[in-house]
Amino acid sequence: MLFHVRMDVLIPTTMDPAVVDKLKAEEKAISQKLQQQGKWRHIWRLAGEYSNFSIFDVESNQELHEIMMSLPLYPFMKVEVTPLLRHPSSIREDDS
């Protein structure tokens, strides 16, 4: 199942910078592992924002939920999820 996910990260300005750096490093490691596994297919930064658009390819809503909840920055995110499916007018036979 493909999902388009917008993540807006809202870290409190009062948070200890060392804690923020640790969370960001952990988040990066998890996201790169998920990308290598093919579950986090694409990630794009939104210019001028601490936000991204991502495409996830997972087995179920539950798997996406578990991935999102496992992200170290999740407690500081506003997340919008949109399920995706192939459009009947698409000329593609796959998800490329």
Sorting pLDDT into bands at 50, 70 and 90, what band is 48? Answer: very high
Least confident of 4-13, 21-30, 82-91: 82-91
CATH number of 2-84: 3.30.70.1060
Distance CA 37, CA 17 (A): 30
User: Does 62 score more than 90 pLDDT?
Assistant: yes
**Token pair for residue 20?**
């923020």
Q: Residue type at 5?
A: V
Q: What is the pTM of this model?
A: 0.90
CA torsion through residues 96, 56, 54, 22, sign: negative
Average pLDDT over residues 25-49: 97
Compute the average pLDDT of residues 18-37: 98
